[in-house]
Amino acid sequence: MVMLLIYLSFIQCSLDSIVFANGETTNIDVDNSKNTVKLQLLPQGKEILMSHNVYRMKHNSKPLQWSDELSKEAYDIQNLSVNCEIPHNYPSGTNFLVSNKRLSPQDVVDIWYMGIIDYDFYTCGLRRSNNNTLNFTQVVWQKSMYIGCSLGRCENSELWVCRYSPEGNFQGEFCKNVKPIAEKFDEITPISNTPFQFNIINDYSVENSTNDE
């Protein structure tokens, strides 16, 4: 089962967090006894930014730029969670995803983008209450210019957090900031097939719908 949640660096288990600094994946190992954080650069860091911008192009939104400051904010939000539960208070302009299966950055953005299914471009509103649709609108929000993300992993699941600036999803501004797909793009098909391998079971949760481990 997959839920959009967060991990605490002081959870009494091994916590590995990954932030994306300068568009590169950066591994963070937290040594609670010494209160230190070790950074290790890993490959594939730019994928989550590229995935956002491919979808934004379809909706005539300008490409996002990377922000290390927002990545740090996303990492700090993870530290507000206890036992992989979403904190009661977190800033607007934040997208979450938790999965019991290892996902790529592309997979995560694909799942968020499929929130388009419940967005009504004629009324500029949600067809039903669904936070994944708000994940979609934040991905393509025209006024947003910067993004930063973090990934936390616990024993059986992983949490993705992305922060955006300027923040999106303001009431009364959806028509101006969430445009229909441009005519030259005639499909809402996600880049990968990942969203079709999961069932969205509530606002921030997805469940593996295949028998794969």
> Domain for residue 106, yes or no?
yes
Write the CA distances from 133 to 73, 113, 115, 152, 163, integer angstroms.
22, 8, 4, 23, 16
Tell me, what CATH number does 78's domain have?
A: 3.40.33.10
Are residues 161 and 77 in contact, defined by beta-carbon separation less than 8 angstroms? yes
Per-residue confidence band for 2, with pLDDT thresholds at 50, 70 and 90: very low
> Domain for residue 17, yes or no?
yes
pLDDT digits (tens, 9 = 90+) for 29-68: 544 444 333 333 344 458 899 999 999 999 999 999 988 8
Q: What is the pLDDT of residue 98?
A: 79
> Domain for residue 186, yes or no?
yes
> Domain for residue 83, yes or no?
yes
pLDDT digits (tens, 9 = 90+) for 133-167: 999 999 999 999 999 888 877 777 778 889 999 99
> Domain for residue 213, yes or no?
no
What pairs with residue 130 in β-bridges? none
> Domain for residue 84, yes or no?
yes
Number of domains in the chain: 1
Residue 190 predicted with pLDDT over 60: no
User: Is 0.85 surpassed by the pTM of this model?
Assistant: no
> Domain for residue 68, yes or no?
yes
> Domain for residue 64, yes or no?
yes
| Domain containing residue 71 | 2-208
Q: Which of 115, 103, 86 is nearest to 4 (CA)?
A: 86
